[in-house]
A and B are shown apart, each in its own frame.
Chain A
Amino acid sequence: MTVIEETSLSGVRDAAPAPADIAVEQARHAPEPLRPRRIGGVSRAGVLSLCGAAASGLCVTVLLFGQLAPFSGALGFTVTAYVVFLAIYAVLTGLDEDGQAVRDRVMTVVLWTAAALLFSGLFMVVGFTGWRGKEALPHANFFTEDMQASGPLDPLTHGGIAHAMLGTLTMIAIALAITVPLGLACAVYLNQIPGRFSRFVRTIVEAMTALPSIVAGLMVYATWILGLGMQKSGLAAGFAISVMMLPIVIRASDVVLRLVPGNLTEAAEALGAPRWRTVWHVVLPTARSGLATAVILGTARGIGETSPVLLTAGFTAALNADPTSGPMVSLPLAVFNFVKSPEPTMIARGFGAAAVLMALVLVLFVIARVIGGRGPGHQTKRQARRTARASRQDVRRFEDLHAPGLSLFESPGGPHPTGTALSAPATGETD
């Protein structure tokens, strides 16, 4: 928080005691270089002025709202208190710092506030959903039953969201079956076959990353349901989610693949591996954790989308395990439909379903963080051990090959293996 440390000049004066007038001269004319700047860290003066400003800001606001002015409202109180706090903090800092430092301190507080606002927003959204969801979540039937036999007036002990959970899993499985092969192959294409066309594809994919999800739903609705005359089904919803997820997965995998070190692929090519073997055995394994993260983050986005499903899946209260026929419902769509009802139990169900959805996204996210987050080529401890084991095995294998008595090679002690007829062509491939 503090930028300038309060160090006295005495130490510097002591260092050059003999030409005292010079030291005094220095101290008078150029005091700035003698005070080392400290970036970050906490100082007592900083904390005290922060606390003092906060306390007086609060007091002034209480005075304003309670006694002096006809203000009211919690939001107004907070904002006024914050503004007063900032002003007092600037003044307090200005007592013993210059303008630069005052601006720095104030902006530091402002940046802390911006971040705090953003993250408190997240906590409020997630926390509110979980808190309102606790009404429905303790009932076991909420996870095992569907809503076929339960009406809006039934208590929470009847009915559940099993149909929506199954629907979500089915749809996301369909979407993954389409997006993972297609998306990863397209990302490999963008990276491995550079050219004008692949640049064009990359531009289009990047522009499509923010494709409105309802447009993806409309597209599938226009082609699959209106064009081909199919009925609304889980399959159509899976298609719609795929259209939405595909650019996200391609984009994220493309970024990850670009980070694969060039010397690894060059080494593979120098060993004579064809391009597809290089990709299969070097590029993809190196980027595996990053690719998994890309796919999982795409899945998290796909699971939470309501609007493509809204247009293509129809709505049902019954459990439907067949994605090819009949309407199917997903968790976000179920939430959306539950909270449209004015009944408190239905709204509670909606929040319960939203909490389940949040939990699902959270789990996916944690998995993505656990397996991903490392750059390409960075191994976990287990992977490193496995690699070391394989390497030791190779060493043993080579030693066995070179062991005296085997006719394949001469003993390693020999200067040049030119003895047997078998080894001659083997050593010929030196260039």
Chain B
Amino acid sequence: MASAQEESDRPESGRSESGEPASGIPGTGTAEPDRAESDRPEPGRAEPGGAGTEGSGTGEAVPGRPEVQELTPRRLNAARGLGDRVFRYQLTATGIAVLAVMAGVGLFLLLRAGQALRARGFAFLTTAEWQPDVHNFGIAAVMTGTILIALVAVSISVPLAVGAALFISDVAPPGLRRTLVSMVDLMAAVPSVVYGLWGLFFFQQHVIGLSRWLSTWFGWIPLFQVDGAQPGEPLASESVYTASTFIAGIVVALMVAPIQCSVMREVFSQAPAGEREGAYALGATRWGMIRAVVLPYGKGGIIGGTMLGLGRALGETIAVYMIISPVFTIQLHILQTGSNSVSSLIALHYGDASTFGMSALMAAGLALFLLTLAVNFTASSVVARSRSGAQSEA
């Protein structure tokens, strides 16, 4: 990234300083990749400094010759025309506008949240109740719920997404691949309210058995414990298992898996064909090749895709809101009824909030915003640093 400090101008300006055509092939040879790379920020490829020294080196050898006058490159200043200047200013203004909108999201949330944050201070992070009108509120419960739902979602969706991505990139019959890619993209575009409907009216009844089984056999793990469950009782009410973190997590998992899958598939399919065939040539089976070539190559994509899905899962509102029944205690039992999340808290309370209550909701929204931002930044830096990161679009 650091190499591109001076390339804010037209690439031609870089070319004119980076070597005279008089030096023949080497000069233009270094200038060409310079120009080609200047549009995309890839680390450590084009080095204007190196090209410049080379140009000056050949420049010393050249001056004695008479034809140097003819070979001096013409100064190109086509970009300085009025049309182009206006064009540049307009584009830059657009960039600033977009940046302003994006910065505005955080700024206005911070502005609005200030009142509530000042009133509560540090207790905002540690209080579980949400009673803003008596100044007793905090995000301990909703944040725990948000993170638990997202963790359940990611731990279910990642194996599915990795498997499906490997299937599409390596196992599926080649004729089927394009269709499958389209279907994954379509799944990513299905509205979340549709997932919520499915989870509420169809999935919930069918997954209660699994919840009961998990709590019966693994109830000794605190996470799977269910208060009020009667494992031996066949006629016991199943309502203790409904509307839980677990069910919301599964529905969100189905929602984020396509996003993760499409990022991972993109990276897997870029694994170098030479290395794949090398593995086959050394006698690897397909799974051996996947383990030796595709998975190490796509590690950045797997991590990046996972984080991207985690970001989406943290911010999911409607599907979660429809499924969970909100509680304002720190609910660590994921199979038990009652959970909460920041976004469903906002959706639940925005309508009846006083001015101060609204400020409190904004503070909760700000916390969610910062959390997703941190997750996303981690994701993009992991992907950018990995081997496959230069090309992938994660």
Contact = CB atoms under 8 A, between A and B. Distances in A.
Contact of B98 (A132, A182, A266): A182
Contacts of B196: 336
B10 A335 contact: no
B93 to A, nearest CB: 9
A255 B393 CA distance: 7
A15 interface: no
Contact of A219 (B109, B182, B347): B109
Contacts of A335: 193-194, 197
B74 interface: yes
Nearest to B187: A122
A218 B79 contact: no
Interface in B311-339: 311-312, 314-318, 322
A197 B227 CA distance: 54
A201 interface: yes
A191 B101 contact: no
A275 B38 contact: no
Interface residues of A, number: 116
A207 B258 CA distance: 19
Interface in B1-38: 1, 4-5, 7-8, 10, 12, 35-36, 38
A404 interface: no
Contacts of A186: 94-95, 97-98
A204 to B, nearest CB: 5
Contacts of B197: 128-129, 132, 335, 339, 350-351, 354
A305 interface: yes
A189 B94 CA distance: 8
B350 A221 contact: yes
Contact of B286 (A104, A198, A199, A202): A104
Interface in B292-313: 308, 311-312
A185 B90 contact: yes
A191 B37 CA distance: 11
Interface stretch (B51-59, B117-125, B236-244, B371-379): B371-379
A108 to B, nearest CB: 6
Contacts, number: 327
Contacts of B285: 3-4, 37, 100-101, 103-104
Contacts of A361: 186, 189-191
Interface string B72-111: 0010001101011011101110110111011111001101
Contact of B372 (A206, A210, A218, A332): A210
B288 interface: yes
Contact of A206 (B83, B317, B380): B380
A215 interface: yes
Interface in A267-294: 269, 272-277, 279
A246 interface: yes
Interface string B154-183: 000001111110111011100000001011
B90 to A, nearest CB: 7
A93 to B, nearest CB: 11
Interface stretch (A52-60, A109-117, A377-385, A410-418): A109-117
B87 A207 contact: no
Given A76-B213, A100-B288, A276-B84, A369 B182 contact: yes
A109 B280 CA distance: 20
A431 B162 CA distance: 55
A361 B188 CA distance: 11
Given A189-B92, A206-B380, A250-B98, A118 B108 contact: no
Given A39-B286, A188-B91, 20 more contacts: A39-B280, A100-B285, A114-B159, A115-B164, A118-B160, A129-B197, A129-B198, A193-B92, A208-B102, A211-B315, A246-B102, A269-B12, A303-B191, A310-B318, A310-B347, A332-B193, A332-B318, A347-B201, A362-B186, A365-B189
Smallest CB-CB A-B distances: 4 pairs: A114-B163, A212-B315, A304-B191, A195-B8
25 contacts: A39-B286, A73-B209, A100-B288, A103-B288, A104-B288, A121-B257, A124-B198, A128-B201, A193-B95, A194-B7, A196-B5, A197-B95, A199-B1, A211-B105, A215-B369, A218-B361, A218-B362, A222-B112, A246-B102, A274-B87, A275-B10, A301-B189, A311-B346, A361-B191, A365-B182
Interface of B: 1, 4-5, 7-8, 10, 12, 35-36, 38-41, 74, 78-79, 81, 83-84, 86-88, 90-92, 94-95, 97-99, 101-105, 108-109, 111-112, 159-164, 166-168, 170-172, 180, 182-187, 189-198, 200-202, 206-207, 209-210, 213, 254, 257-258, 261, 280, 283-288, 290, 308, 311-312, 314-318, 322, 343, 346-347, 350, 358, 361-362, 365, 368-369, 372-373, 375-377, 380, 393
